[in-house]
């Protein structure tokens, strides 16, 4: 698993490089799409070149879609960290989750008691949980169940799951468990690599989990997948507990809240 994380970090760097290329690429694609539009205006739908031109345009559009995703994945988005209550965020998303998973999959949400706050970017954190729920759904074409759990995890307990330069701290755990296909070790070893997908063309981009990985890293948390072929998969996400900055002694102005990012 350690090797898996080292590999994923390397791939993340590659992904970021690709993001720079994607930006220039997008400009070129805009020109291709623009010029094919111009040419299409000079041809009638029955003309022999019309359908070929349409092909050029459609495929350039697809490529543009892909570069947009690549950009979203690699862009250094401005983070707006705020103190968040995970159970509230998950409950707010449950209507969306039900729409994502459909009728054949059941969703259970189990929150621990008095879950500690975390400090993270709300939009990014939502994206993490949504990506995991979408993957869980895709792993259960015949139906099944998804369980989302939150819990407080002590520093000692969290250490059992962390392999990357562990700094002892309390964490809040979000767990997304499914009863789907599970993954063999050779797939599990690659899931955080950008563009790694086992889904058919057009269904998966392979950017979901590498995005999740990047966001969790930025939030100074970590992610731990467990998967059993034929039984299902659980993603454990650990986010550092947000601890209130101690109040300044009387007489002094209150210190601004420390930026933990």
Query: Quick check: 206 binds ligand ADP (CB under 6 A)?
Result: yes
Query: Quick check: 136 binds ligand ADP (CB under 6 A)?
Result: yes
Kindly indicate which of the ranges 40-48, 112-120, 206-214, 216-224 contains the residues binding ligand ADP, using the contact rule CB under 6 A: 206-214
* Cβ contact 137:101 at 8 Å: yes
Q: Measured from the CB atom, is 86 or 191 closer to ligand ADP?
A: 191
In the bound complex, what is the minimum distance in angstroms from residue 191's beta carbon to ligand ADP?
A: 4
In the bound complex, what is the minimum distance in angstroms from residue 259's beta carbon to ligand ADP?
A: 30
Query: Quick check: 144 binds ligand ADP (CB under 6 A)?
Result: no
C-beta neighbour count of 197 within 10 angstroms:
17
Tell me whether residue 207 is exposed, middle or buried, using C-beta atoms within 10 angstroms of its C-beta: 0 to 12, 13 to 18, 19 or more.
buried
Chosen residue from 118, 158, 233, 237 binding ligand ADP by CB under 6 A: 233
Q: Measured from the CB atom, is 36 or 181 closer to ligand ADP?
A: 181
C-beta neighbour count of 11 within 10 angstroms:
18
Query: Quick check: 198 binds ligand ADP (CB under 6 A)?
Result: yes
Residues in 155-184 that interact with ligand ADP by CB under 6 A = 178, 180-181, 183
Going by C-beta distance under 8 Å and a sequence separation of 6 or more, which residues neighbour residue 44?
Answer: 50
Query: Quick check: 69 binds ligand ADP (CB under 6 A)?
Result: no
Q: Measured from the CB atom, is 36 or 210 closer to ligand ADP?
A: 210
* Cβ contact 100:136 at 8 Å: no
Count the site residues for ligand ADP by CB under 6 A. 22
Query: Quick check: 139 binds ligand ADP (CB under 6 A)?
Result: yes
Instruction: Name the nearest CA neighbour of 116 among 162, 147, 153.
Output: 153
Q: Measured from the CB atom, is 3 or 201 closer to ligand ADP?
A: 201
C-beta neighbour count of 23 within 10 angstroms:
14
Q: Measured from the CB atom, is 73 or 242 closer to ligand ADP?
A: 73
Backbone angles phi, psi at 41, to 5 degrees: -65, -25
* Cβ contact 193:11 at 8 Å: yes
Query: Quick check: 214 binds ligand ADP (CB under 6 A)?
Result: no
Q: Which residue is nearest to ligand ADP, using beta carbons?
A: 208
Q: Measured from the CB atom, is 194 or 240 closer to ligand ADP?
A: 194
Q: Rounded to whole angstroms, what are the CA distances from 32 to 41, 44, 58, 129?
A: 14, 19, 11, 36
Tell me whether residue 168 is exposed, middle or buried, using C-beta atoms within 10 angstroms of its C-beta: 0 to 12, 13 to 18, 19 or more.
exposed
Q: Which residues bind ligand ADP (CB under 6 A)?
A: 131, 135-136, 139, 178, 180-181, 183, 187, 191, 196-199, 204-210, 233
């Amino acid at each position: 698993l350690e090797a898996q994380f080292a590999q994923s970090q390397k791939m993340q760097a590659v992904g970021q490089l690709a993001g720079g290329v994607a930006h220039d690429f997008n400009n070129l694609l805009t020109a291709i799409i623009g010029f094919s539009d111009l040419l299409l205006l000079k041809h009638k739908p029955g003309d022999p070149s019309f359908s070929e031109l349409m092909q050029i345009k459609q495929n350039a559009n697809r490529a543009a879609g892909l570069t947009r995703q690549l950009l979203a994945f690699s862009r250094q988005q401005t983070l707006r960290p705020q103190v968040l209550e995970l159970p509230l965020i998950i409950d707010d998303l449950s209507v969306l989750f039900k729409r994502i998973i459909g009728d054949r999959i059941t969703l259970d949400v189990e929150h621990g008691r008095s879950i500690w706050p975390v400090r993270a970017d709300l939009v990014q954190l939502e994206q993490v949980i949504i990506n995991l729920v979408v993957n869980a759904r895709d792993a259960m074409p015949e139906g099944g169940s998804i369980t989302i759990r939150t819990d407080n995890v002590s520093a000692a307990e969290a250490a059992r799951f962390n392999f990357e330069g562990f700094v002892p701290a309390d964490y809040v755990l979000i767990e997304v468990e499914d009863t789907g296909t599970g993954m063999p070790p050779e797939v599990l070893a690659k899931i955080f690599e950008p563009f790694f997908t086992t889904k058919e063309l057009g269904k998966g981009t392979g950017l979901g989990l590498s995005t999740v990985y990047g966001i969790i890293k930025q939030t100074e948390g970590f992610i731990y997948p467990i998967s059993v072929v034929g039984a299902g998969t659980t993603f454990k996400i650990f986010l550092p507990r947000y601890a209130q900055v101690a109040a300044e002694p009387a007489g002094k102005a209150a210190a601004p809240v420390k930026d933990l990012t």
